[in-house]
């Protein structure tokens, strides 16, 4: 009889254990379901979940987050950002300055406890190990040596990788679609303006050690591709592949492009046109100068950046060419 009672008790315990296990079965192991893997020049970087706290060490990457509706947790060189990058939305008071872009403050970055750090190859490759000791770090290269990838394509690829990192891929699709619509509208506006020529060169000028230096953007550059998308024709043909998307000329080098419209941006504090080139016979005899086809896009024109800066550049070009 006792053996029968013991057997019943054992079976009851086994059934209870099975019942308990059955109740737990529906809760599957979901570890890794939220993981995201992003790819930079330092390889694949996997996050356990989309990043919520991101520190960016280059202006373009701050802009990319803003385009996706996210404020960076930390950002390098905030003080100078607004002097060049002219976009909405802007940075808010929640963003912490983490020092210079070239030498960010690692202690400040660590204090923010970021989920992800985003750097740029030509500044941050050498400190990658230190950055990775703080948080997962992805490094992008905005100037790839692969000639088959133009700088506009690189911009889009990086923007989409960042969108993946923060779980905003659908928003990225919308941002790029809006930009494409903006190109089409600007192209129609320029066509309707019936310009004397759609040939252009786009330049950024500054004082050099001996004479003014004029950076002329190549067809490979992001800015030039924006020109093409709105119906303009960049006539500059570089003699060699320019990894940074521009060739450097002195004023004499512009003679071969004098029949094109001359688009330029120059800082107020270093305006070579009002200073060094005023009264310069070569400059003043160029056809685009004599025919008043010189177009100042403004000192705050940023010819780099991401989708929002591309949109600003479209506005600045169309406003200058069409409305002036």
The domain limits of the chain are 36-167, 175-323
Model confidence, pTM: 0.86
Percent of the chain with pLDDT over 90: 77
pLDDT of the residue at 24: 41
pLDDT of the residue at 75: 96
Q: What is the pLDDT of residues 69-115, one digit of tens each?
A: 999 999 999 988 988 898 999 999 999 999 999 899 999 999 999 99
Axis crossing angle, helix 169-193 with helix 151-165, rounded to the nearest 10: 150
Q: What is the pLDDT of residues 135-190, one digit of tens each?
A: 999 999 999 998 889 999 999 999 999 999 999 999 999 999 999 999 999 999 99
Superfamily grouping for domain 36-167:
Nitrogenase molybdenum iron protein domain (3.40.50.1980)
Pick the CATH number of 175-323 from 3.40.1020.10, 2.40.128.120, 3.40.50.1980, 3.40.309.10: 3.40.50.1980
Asked if the domains 36-167 and 175-323 are classified in one and the same CATH topology, the answer is: yes
pLDDT of the residue at 225: 97
Q: What is the pLDDT of residues 204-213, one digit of tens each?
A: 998 888 888 9
């Amino acid at each position: 009889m006792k053996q029968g009672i013991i057997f019943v008790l054992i079976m009851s315990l086994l059934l209870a254990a099975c019942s308990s296990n059955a109740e737990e079965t529906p809760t599957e192991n979901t570890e890794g379901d939220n993981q995201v893997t992003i790819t930079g020049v330092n390889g694949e970087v996997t996050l356990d979940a989309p990043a919520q706290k991101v520190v960016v060490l280059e202006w373009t990457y701050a802009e990319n987050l803003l385009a996706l509706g996210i404020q960076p947790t930390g950002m390098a060189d905030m003080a100078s950002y607004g002097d060049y990058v002219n976009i909405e939305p802007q940075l808010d008071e929640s963003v912490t300055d983490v020092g210079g872009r070239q030498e960010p403050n690692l202690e400040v970055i660590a204090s923010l406890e970021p989920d992800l750090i985003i750097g740029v190859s030509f500044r941050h490759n050498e400190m990658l190990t230190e950055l990775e000791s703080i948080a997962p770090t992805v490094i992008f290269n905005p100037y790839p040596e692969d000639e088959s990838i133009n700088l506009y394509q690189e911009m889009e690829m990086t923007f989409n990788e960042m969108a993946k990192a923060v779980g905003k891929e659908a928003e990225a699709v919308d941002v790029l679609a809006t930009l494409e619509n903006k190109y089409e509208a600007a192209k129609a506006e320029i066509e309707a303006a019936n310009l004397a020529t759609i040939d252009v060169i786009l330049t950024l000028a500054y004082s050099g050690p001996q004479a003014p230096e004029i950076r002329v953007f190549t067809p490979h550059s992001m800015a030039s591709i924006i020109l093409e998308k709105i119906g303009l024709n960049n006539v500059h043909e570089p003699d060699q592949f320019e990894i940074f998307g521009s060739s450097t000329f002195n004023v004499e080098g512009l003679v071969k492009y004098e029949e094109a419209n001359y688009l330029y941006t120059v800082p107020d504090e270093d305006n070579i046109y009002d200073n060094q080139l005023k009264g310069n016979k070569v400059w003043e005899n160029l056809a685009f100068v004599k025919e008043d086809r010189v177009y100042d896009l403004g000192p705050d024109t940023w010819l780099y950046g991401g989708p929002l800066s591309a949109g600003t550049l479209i506005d600045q070009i169309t406003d200058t060419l069409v409305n002036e």
